[in-house]
Amino acid sequence: MKNIAVLTSGGDSPGMNAAIRAVVRTSIYNGAKIYGIKRGFNGLIHGDVIEMNLSSVADIIHRGGTILRTARCEEFQTAEGLQKAVNIADVFDFDGIIVIGGDGSFRGARELSKKGIACIGVPGTIDNDLAYTDFTIGFDTAVNTVLDAINKIRDTTTSHERISIIEVMGRNSGDIALYSGLAGGAESIIVPEVEYTCDDVCKRLLQGKNRGKLHSIILLAEGVGKATKLAEEIHNKIGMEVRVTILGYLQRGGSPSAFDRILASRLGARAVEALLQGESGQAVGIRDNKIISEDFGKALEMKKTFNTDMYELAKILSI
Ligand code: ATP
């Protein structure tokens, strides 16, 4: 019988639980033993491991967060920490570990693979910043959360004939701003991938106002800069009143969307199958609605391409 372990690491994302459920149930279906490691690599180092069964993952497919908890673990990035993790994997006789997380977690999984512990990565992060996969688990839910906020802010922005800047997550990737901005009809979308000037934003605001628009919504990805600073700049330049909403951690919570649950279920199951087929050092993902796997090295090296078509379309539709 094979011994498989699963952990969640880095920032949590809605759908991680659905992925854990898929991993646990697919493992048991295939006759493997399945262990849950608590708090990411931290739990691995400290042997915080529990055996899981079919009921361990009952009633979690719709829950945000992660029942295994998550953490960031600096010790794991030292040679001693990595060795401790390898020792625990040996003690439990793990044949493989499934790591659900973002790029940092995949780097950790790659180090473990190099030490002979078979690892498969499942992309769990709201940022959608992994280039090898079209979507990461949690991104769609985060976009829907932002969209809900845009709808509400739009009501009050219209009533007061104001401008609103909504600051959303995305340090290096503007996908949350782009997708929610297009879906929410934002007047401007400001992302790290595309240069912008305050003058451009002001011009669009004035053009909108002159043709009778009652409100303007600007979506700003946090990686570009602070919303409060941009609000001040706009006010100083054209005297218009600007309100700021910073959505923050709200975007990481909530019940996962149907898309994220389905993605998590497919990727979690595929990760187990990969381990059972003797694969290691791979990240599973989705491309053109097909489940794929990619070497950690390549998956981490690939540079994400920003969807400029969608960006231009959003601009055209909000003139
Ligand atoms: P998110 O995208 O949500 O931030 P993440 O997985 O990228 O998720 P990180 O904090 O970057 O989150 O990484 C999670 C953990 O992975 C780290 O705390 C650390 O234990 C491990 N890790 C990150 N980078 C490396 C690395 N280069 N080598 C070994 N382990 C790493």
How many angstroms separate the CA atoms of 164 and 243, rounded?
A: 5
Q: Which atom of ligand 1 is nearest to the CA of 101?
A: 6
Q: Is 279 part of any domain?
A: yes
CA-wise closest residue to 283 among 33, 69, 103: 103
SS3 content of the chain, % helix, strand, coil (to 5): 45, 20, 35
**Residue 312 CB-density burial (10 A; 0-12 exposed, 13-18 middle, 19+ buried):** exposed
Q: How many other C-beta atoms lie within 10 A of the C-beta of residue 36? A: 22
Q: Are residues 236 and 144 in the same domain?
A: yes
Q: Do both 12 and 134 map to the same domain?
A: yes
Per the structure, how many domains does the chain have?
Answer: 2
Nearest CA to ligand 1 atom 28: 108
Q: Measure 103 CA to ligand 1 centroid, in angstroms.
A: 6
Residue 318 within a domain: no
Give the Å distance between the CA of 64 and the centre of ligand 1.
20
264 contact partners, CB below 8 Å, separation of at least 6 = 15, 16, 17, 18, 19, 22, 122, 124, 137, 256
- Alpha carbon nearest to ligand 1 atom 13, residue: 104
Q: Choose one of 216, 235, 252: the last residue of a domain.
A: 252
CA 213/CA 215 separation, integer angstroms: 6
**Does ligand 1 come within 6 angstroms of the Cβ of 127?**
yes
Please indicate if the annotation marks 201 as binding a ligand.
no
Looking at the fold, whether 166 and 241 belong to one and the same domain comes out as: yes
Binding site membership of 10 for ligand 1 (Cβ less than 6 Å): yes
pLDDT number for residue 319: 80
Q: Is the CB of 105 under 6 A from ligand 1?
A: yes
d(CA 105, ligand 1 centre) in Å? 4
pLDDT of residue 119: 98
- Domain-embedded: residue 277: yes
Looking at the fold, whether 99 and 217 belong to one and the same domain comes out as: no
Is any atom of ligand 1 closer than 6 Å to the C-beta of 124? Answer: no
* Same domain, residue pair 190 and 243: yes
Would 157 be classed as within a structural domain?
A: yes
- 100: exposed, middle or buried (Cβ count in 10 Å: 0-12, 13-18, 19+): buried
Domain of 147: which CATH number?
3.40.50.460
| Predicted model pTM | 0.96
Ligand 1 pocket test: which of 107, 126, 304 has the largest number of ligand atoms within 8 Å of its C-beta? 107
Q: Which structural domain, as residue segments, surrounds residue 95? A: 3-138+256-301
Asked if 86 and 221 sit in the same domain, the reply is no
Residue 71 Cα to ligand 1 midpoint, Å, equals 9
Residue 103 domain-assigned (yes or no)? yes
Per-residue pLDDT of the chain (319 residues; tens, 9 = 90+): 699 999 999 999 999 999 999 999 999 999 999 999 999 999 999 999 999 999 999 999 999 999 999 999 999 999 999 999 999 999 999 999 999 999 999 999 999 999 999 999 999 999 999 999 999 999 999 999 999 999 999 888 777 778 999 999 999 999 999 999 999 999 999 999 999 999 999 999 999 888 888 789 999 999 999 999 999 999 999 998 899 999 999 999 999 999 999 999 999 999 999 999 999 999 999 999 999 999 999 999 999 999 999 999 999 998 8
Question: Which residues, 6 or more positions from 90, have their beta carbon under 8 angstroms from its beta carbon?
Answer: none
In this structure, are 27 and 131 located in the same domain?
A: yes
Q: How far apart are CA 34 and CA 167, in angstroms?
A: 40
Question: Do residues 56 and 29 share a domain?
Answer: yes
Ligand 1 within 6 A of CB of 219: no
pLDDT at residue 247 in the model: 97
Q: Dihedral sign, CA of 186, 192, 194, 198?
A: positive
- Taking a C-beta distance cutoff of 8 angstroms, is the pair 213, 162 a contact? no
Residue 183 is labelled as binding a ligand: no
Do 189 and 167 share a domain, yes or no?
yes
For residue 315, being part of any structural domain is answered with no
Assigned domain for 54 exists: yes
CA of 10, closest atom in ligand 1:
12
What pLDDT, on a 0 to 100 scale, did the predictor assign at position 1?
Answer: 66
Residue 173 lies in a domain: yes
Which H helix or E strand runs over 4? Answer: strand 3-8
Q: How far apart are CA 219 and CA 180, in angstroms?
A: 8
Q: What is the CATH number of the domain that holds 265?
A: 3.40.50.450
From the CA of 109, how far away is ligand 1's center (Å)?
A: 9
Question: Is there an atom of ligand 1 within 6 Å of 75 CB?
Answer: no
| Residues classed as catalytic | 127
CA-CA-CA-CA dihedral for 23, 142, 152, 216, to nearest 10: -160
Check residue 38 and report its DSSP letter: S
181 CB within 6 A, ligand 1 = no
C-alpha to C-alpha distances, 52 to 36, 154, 266, 306, nearest whole angstrom: 6, 45, 20, 40
| 297 and 246 inside one domain | no
Identify whether residues 242 and 113 lie together within a single domain. Answer: no
Nearest partner of 208 among 163, 252, 253, 239, judged by Cα: 163
Whether residue 262 sits in one domain with residue 246: no
- CB contact set of 102 (below 8 Å; sequence gap of 6+): 10, 11, 123, 124, 125, 127, 129, 130, 136
Residue 197 known to bind ligand: no
